[in-house]
Amino acid sequence: TSVTGVQTCALPIYVAFERGEGPYLFTEDGRRFLDFGSGIAVNSLGHCHPALIQTLSEQSEKLWHCSNLYRIPKQEKLAGILTANSFADSVFFCNSGAEAVEAGLKLVRKFQSHSGHPERFRVITFAGSFHGRTLTTISAAANDAHKAGFGPMVDGFDIVPFGNLEEARAAVTKETAAILVEPIQGEGGIRPAEKAFLADLRKLCDEFGLLLFFDEVQTGIGRTGHLFAHQAADVMPDVIAIAKGLGGGFPVGACLASEKAAAGMTAGTHGSTFGGNPLAMAVACKVLDIILEEALLKKCVELGVELRTRIKQCYQNYPNLVEEVRGAGLMVGIKAIVPAGELVTAFRDHGLLTVPAGDNVVRLLPPLIIDQNHVDEALEMMSSAFKALT
């Protein structure tokens, strides 16, 4: 357990899976688990979605990799879908969340130097955040366990308490370039930022000429019932990083920015060999087609409300186990009273896969394709697990 309480490897990994189907994972010996972890918010359409299999197979027979030296039509198509459905005007494709955040951090520095402020390079970030495991992204967060032995850290981050506007304001100096924040802290324990806090950060950025950068790697691509979590708060960022659910299991990340914010990022200023490859682009286009066309987002909101309400009703019978349930859409956190790892293990022993997070929280991140029956099934498993724990 790290200083912020994130349990990194406290649980014995005693199970390996052979195959997946929809929201289920199967072991070699045929045991079935209801997967409410989704590879930590990655398998947004569940396992082996037929449309994704078809898309990946078809693309695999045409073209796998092609250098960014040439045009990649599917990259243009995906960028078109993302920009048409967000604040953004331009997109950089990469392969992971950390790379997407890193691209955004380079972008905010470039924006400032391009606008005549090369002295502005620092970024205000928040305690409890998680932005990835590269040297720069561990430097951006306050998790000492992630930093231990890897020093010195990359300079340029001022970490303030999450949700505290006054501390954020006090941290702004002549060297500040941007504010980086997760609309809902995922690894930190499903801790939603107040809508007003996000709106106030926007105002703070406008007041001091800073860029507002949302890390939506975990919250993005429909997880919260909106394509991007910040859309619920109606706060317009300048930059966002996305990954995880975008590829539905195929590795892909992206950094989205407004035209103004991306002004200094001309062709060649940043790059990636694999980023935006035709396989990833084909799959991600299909993921977005499905999420945007099949009214999934509305269903995510409804099922999320139901899931949280019923979990609350369920744990009220066991007041010594759980303190609260929180989150948005299908990004749900159960704040435990007993060690969260014990709940995760008990759920798993009853067939339900969940993920531990910071703040002694158990995360439920089911695939967005679940229906009422899966919610019923999960609640039965949770109820049995609670019973067994008492």
Q: Which residues make up the interface to ligand PLP (CB under 6 A)?
A: 40, 96-98, 101, 130-132, 182, 186-187, 215, 217-218, 243
To ligand PLP, the closest distance from the beta carbon of 243 in angstroms equals 5
* Rounded CA separation 386/193 (Å): 29
Query: Which tokens hold the place of 268?
Result: 């060649």
C-beta closer to ligand PLP: residue 7 or 218: 218
To ligand PLP, the closest distance from the beta carbon of 43 in angstroms equals 14
* Rounded CA separation 93/180 (Å): 19
* Rounded CA separation 281/125 (Å): 30
To ligand PLP, the closest distance from the beta carbon of 134 in angstroms equals 8
Burial (Cβ within 10 Å: 0-12, 13-18, ≥19) of residue 199: middle
C-beta closer to ligand PLP: residue 99 or 238: 99
C-beta closer to ligand PLP: residue 94 or 385: 94
- Residue 157's DSSP bridge partners are 123
To ligand PLP, the closest distance from the beta carbon of 193 in angstroms equals 12
Cβ contacts of 349 within 8 Å, gap of 6 or more = 385, 388
Cβ contacts of 213 within 8 Å, gap of 6 or more = 104, 105, 108, 123, 178, 179, 180, 181, 237, 238, 239, 240, 241
C-beta closer to ligand PLP: residue 101 or 159: 101
* Rounded CA separation 322/362 (Å): 10
Q: Please tell me the total number of residues recorded for the chain in this structure.
A: 390
To ligand PLP, the closest distance from the beta carbon of 182 in angstroms equals 5
C-beta closer to ligand PLP: residue 311 or 357: 357
Q: Which long-range contacts (CB under 8 A, 24 or more apart) does 156-160 make?
A: 156/121, 156/122, 156/123, 157/122, 157/123, 157/124, 157/125, 158/122, 158/123, 158/124, 158/125, 159/124, 159/125, 159/126, 159/127, 159/129, 160/124, 160/125, 160/126, 160/127
C-beta closer to ligand PLP: residue 98 or 257: 98
Q: Among 180, 173, 85, 174, which Cα is nearest to 132's?
A: 180
Report yes or no: 277 and 73 within 8 Å, Cβ to Cβ: no
C-beta closer to ligand PLP: residue 187 or 238: 187
To ligand PLP, the closest distance from the beta carbon of 53 in angstroms equals 22
C-beta closer to ligand PLP: residue 96 or 383: 96
To ligand PLP, the closest distance from the beta carbon of 185 in angstroms equals 8
Residue nearest to ligand PLP (CB): 97
Report yes or no: 334 and 362 within 8 Å, Cβ to Cβ: yes
To ligand PLP, the closest distance from the beta carbon of 218 in angstroms equals 4
H-helix or E-strand containing 80? Answer: helix 73-84
To ligand PLP, the closest distance from the beta carbon of 31 in angstroms equals 27
Query: Which tokens hold the place of 359?
Result: 């703040």
C-beta closer to ligand PLP: residue 360 or 383: 360
